[in-house]
Structure 1
Amino acid sequence: MKRNSLLFFILLSIAIGVEYELSSLSDLELSTGKYLELLSSFLLLSIYIIPICAMLVIYAKRWKVPKYIIPLSIVSGAYGTGWLAGYGNDYLLEGLKRLLGSSKALEAWSAALTAPFVEETLKLCCGLIILYLLKRKNSQSAFVVGASVGLGFQIIEDISYIIEAAQDSFQTVVPKTLERISGGISSHWSLTCIFTVAVICILSKTQLNNKSKWLWLVFPITMHFIWNSPINDLPLISTVISAVTIMIIIQMITFIEANQKNQHQQVRVFK
């Protein structure tokens, strides 16, 4: 009963998300030519989408994680969490305004005080629901599912930013697209991946030192907070965040590889 309820919830969220995202695109008052240009700009996002998907396919095969999990998780992350995050961010911001009052400081820090907590929580829950429905609780599956959910969310968020740019001025569409691509290497796909693996390692009591455990658990929200805050306006901050994020991903892959090797050795000894 619980599985059926969760399955219905995620399918309903995806259905709502599809309608929500397509309506925002169809509401644009653009000529056919402009629509084609806008859709072409979406294709530029493949600059980061293809390499990340290729990496996920490679590691899914290496870790014997079913490849169908990748598109399933991408679609769930894109349509099942994107629209919820939009409403969640707005409601949380309204709550902060009522609590703290409107001010320039709150306006400057609003993205940092809302998105990290709302978006990272929703993406994590989506990933955990998928893992629960598929009865997979190892760190390998958590890595693939978490990264795929985050990638789906990242794609739909980038598209929404491009659409917003088209509404303001069509001349800003390509610059906005390139701006989104520049941060794509260490955006939502990596943060959700780290968060999901950290939680699964804790829930499954995987052998992991406390330093790495807490680092992985706190890192996604902390980095998302810094990325969305005025701190990111300082020189080189975004590049440092990207470098550190990729280092954590490499560390996580190394841990998963070593953990899988130890499991295989234990099985051989037992036999």
Structure 2
Amino acid sequence: MSVHPTPEWARAGKSLLLPAFWVVLMLIAGGAVRLGMFVRESFALYPAATLTALILFGLYAVPFCVFVAALDYLEREPPLLLATAFAWGGLVATSISIRGNAAVHNLVAKLASPGLAAEWGSALAGPTVEEIAKALGIIAIVLVARAQVNSVLDGVVYGSLVGLGFQVVEDVVYAVNAVAVAGRGDQVAPVIATFLLRGFLAGLWSHTLFGALAGAGIGYLAVRTDRNLFVRVSVAVLSVLGAMAIHFVWNSPLLSLGGGLGIFGDLIVKGIPPLLMILLLVRGVRHREADYYMGQLAALGDRRIATEDELRVLASGHLRAGARRYAHGRAGVRGRRAVARLQRAQARLAVELSRSTGGARSVVPPAPMASAPVGGSGVAVGVAHVPTAPIYVPILGGPKAVRWRDRVLFERARMHALGHAEATAPLSRNGNIRRVVGGVAVFLCAMFTVGLSLIALGAS
């Protein structure tokens, strides 16, 4: 983890002075013009189908964006950079890939045969042109906002959003083209079939997944300065090549089980293994980052800031959610909100502590806290719930660290006033098993439903 004590406004100002920023801006603007022309032409020919495609895939992107952005709970990325990553994938990478893919298809047809180009062209063009175009977007994010990329998980987040932007725009193009190929005029059935096939079924292990793998490697190159340059470059190159390899297998006829409902067999054989691999990779990266930030809070040695159980809970997404549910059961909505606010304050404090040098420390007594209402309920929170022992705060943590320390203490007092002293929940031995079984059951039901829908639409 790298240290960046520079104020955020100063880092943003420096980004505006970088040539890479203006290059990225011009490329995104050019891609927006190109996409706008495509949408205008599509609306002229197939207004209902085009509108349906934009709405479906626009809504489809929302839960993915929320999930990807929430991967890094402890240090949320700036929304502008997240939007930039999405825009690069949807506007720049797609513009590069349209011409690049056509060039590769033509080259294979001339050097080999049209039949080979038809069968293997996508497997050759997609991994090379598209993955390189997306990787350039992740590198551009690093160049423009180096201070914001301070963990491998950051690379995963930005890579996933680049891939998601590419996937959404590509699927809109495929949906409109499916309407043209069907030759039945302005019909929405081909759009819905494309949405179910390319969005719902293939979306779990498509470009978002490839981008996450490439982003992890590029993030490693950027932040693991404790390793020599050769190792870092090798990891980055292998990650991008790994994304290319998964993309190649996905696009190729290898391991394919044939048409019709054989698509479900293809998804299981060609999709689930890389999905599990990358999910395990992301899980390991998240745990490493969580351990780092929890160490910042643990080093304070103050149970008012975070107890041992709270550190364990704060490091895991499902445990954080479980603690909020437990608080809701004990203290209602106010309890749930109080735990959520405490968790967010603890996370922000950990981030601010990590941005200090970690050297000199000074004793700062907790600031007196006047009574205040909780959520307008009239329940008073006073100093009686806040111990008066001093707390050690890094000097170079600055005012933000002190402010978030005080915020943690204030939220702790709110929880005490509600009769809920700790943001944790009783451990459940069967909790993980129930989540896995429930997730698999939902997945299988969804796959079955989509299969029936495709049969009804005549897409099988």
Please report the TM-score for the alignment, with normalisation by the length of structure 1: 0.85
Which residue of 1 is the match for residue 138 of structure 2?
A: 127
2:207 alignment counterpart: 188
Alignment correspondent of 2:173: 160
Query: Which structure 2 residues correspond to residues 55-134 of structure 1 after superposition, within 5 A?
Result: 55-98=67-110, 100-134=111-145
The Cα offsets for residues 152-204 of structure 1, whole Å up to 9 and x where unpaired, read as 01101001101111222335232222211221111101111111112321454
Q: Distance in 1 between matches of 2:175 and 2:125?
A: 21
Letter of the 1:177 counterpart: F
Report how many aligned residue pairs link the two structures: 266
Structure 1 residue ranges without an equivalent (≥5)? none
1:207/1:221 Cα in 2 relative to 1: closer, same or farther (>3 Å)? farther
Q: Are 1:112 and 1:224, in contact at CA under 8 Å, matched by a contact in 2?
A: yes
- Greater helix fraction, Structure 1 or Structure 2: 1
Q: In structure 2, what residue type is equivalent to 1:158?
A: D
AA at the equivalent of 2:132: T
Q: Which residue of 2 aligns with 1:173?
A: 191
Report if aligned partners of 1:14, 1:79 keep a CA contact under 8 Å in 2. Answer: yes
Mapped contact 1:48–1:184 kept (Cα < 8 A): no
After superposition, residues 144-155 of structure 1 pair within 5 angstroms as 144-155=157-168
Answer 1 or 2: higher relative contact order, Cα 8 Å, separation at least 6. Answer: 1
Q: In structure 2, which of residues 29, 32, 35 is the aligned counterpart of residue 15 of structure 1? A: 29
Unaligned runs of 5+ in 2: 1-13, 301-357, 360-460
Instruction: Specify which of 22, 26, 39 is matched with residue 25 of structure 1.
Output: 39
Which sits farther off after the overlay, 14-23 or 196-205? 196-205
Q: CA deviation at 1:81?
A: 1.2
Please state whether the residue corresponding to 2:77 is helix, strand or coil: coil
Identity among equivalent pairs (%): 20
Instruction: Decide which of 213, 237, 242 is 1:219's aligned counterpart.
Output: 242
Aligned pair in 2 of structure 1 residues 22, 113: CA closer, same or farther (>3 Å)?
same
Is the 1:150–1:191 Cα contact (8 Å) retained in structure 2? yes
Q: CA deviation at 1:218?
A: 3.6
Bigger shift: residues 56-65 or 132-141: 56-65
Which deviates the most, 218-227 or 257-266?
Answer: 257-266
Q: Match for 1:154: what amino acid?
A: Q
8 Å CA contact 1:60, 1:67 repeated in 2? no
Corresponding letter in the other structure for 1:183: A
